[in-house]
Amino acid sequence: MSERWARTFLTAYRFAGAAAYPLVGPYVAWRTSRGKEDRIRRRERYGIAGRERPEGPVIWIHAASVGETIAVVPLVESILDYGVNIVLTTGTVTSAQVAEERLGDRIIHQYVPLDLKPAVSRFLDHWRPDLAIIAESEIWPMTILELGARRVPQVLVNGRLSDRSYKSWKKRANIAEALFENLAHVVAQSDVDGKRFLSLGARPVTVSGNLKVDTTPPPADERALYTLKRQIGARPTWAAISTHDGEEAVAAEVHAMLHKRHHGLLTIVVPRHPDRAEALAAQISGMGLKVVRRSKGDRIIADTDILLGDTMGEMGLYLRLTEIAFVGRSLTSEGGQNPLEPAMLDTAVLAGRNVQNFRETYQRLLDSGGAKLVRDRDMLAGAVNFLLTNEVARHEMMAAGAATVEEMRGALALTLKSLEPYIQPLVVKSRLKGANGR
């Protein structure tokens, strides 16, 4: 594919919009489905603002979903200390709730516009951002091109490219380069991510580490925690969190294998997508196990086998109920989920071998003894059994994970240093406007 062809494609994309391209149009439609929209604020997805633009410089920060939103909260708070206005966009209802809970009215929250020219143009015409900061791997061609055409600096922070995404972009290297040249700076999570962005044409690229390491542990409602702990009592527990299809059944099978050996064992299963809870409860009950659902307010009693954590935003609650956590999307699915939250909360981390999306984080935990990878169900059962049986080994693993997280901190400071050349002129501009206003 020639560079000329790539630029022709992107020019056509910019003027025709995502709907003109079969690979992109369905993705945009998918993004707005699956119950992720706030129907009252749907107009924001078409770039129609729900608020007035404030006076002075505006920084637009985008974080797609819950994980990215939590990761950028400390960054947002640090930028707010400079006295610059922030418009934070997210793509889901739950991430909007996180923004409201953690940042309140200190920022302006909007739902991110669809990656269609009319929507993006309306959004940019209204907010007129002076700087755009995009978190992780949100590479939206139309948005990048429109910001580039308006000469708005764009910085990708906490940048990450999974194996699959990188291979996909490499097949379209000229398109990638024509897009990534619009980025003023890429702040990558790891050396591997940094090299990948460089090979795709991004300049300059620096490596900061993972912003998620610099976040606080996920919170828990103290009253709910107290209630559940009283119901569980002294029973041994372990958890399978952020699970994907097939992993819940594996967790239930592990429970069946171990519950006679560990009297009163309670297994906590937290599916990545709680909307699967009805089917999961029926499936696990069909295996002869007694299930209670957190969303129903069911009480944990003596013969309860499985607590199904089918709620959003309560990972901190579930992790505080155990000292052992298997992290999903790693045994029957690929890519893995982030192990940092359990490690932060002094939890021994187990996972399958398919953890490519968090390779560096897992490697650090494995090297320190804070995590262990398992091959299959039987190996998972053996690891859980060992940790339940050996308190000293379990506590050593928990401490190693927590210590590793502390050693990995520092991404926030490095990210702010990379952003400083773009933020400082806006700080000066804001202060001058304030002085003139007086």
Q: Which residues are catalytic?
A: 68
Q: Nearest Cα to 31, choosing from 105, 152, 119?
A: 119
Question: In which residue are the tokens 């379990």 written?
Answer: 394
- Other C-beta atoms lying within 10 Å of the C-beta of residue 3: 12
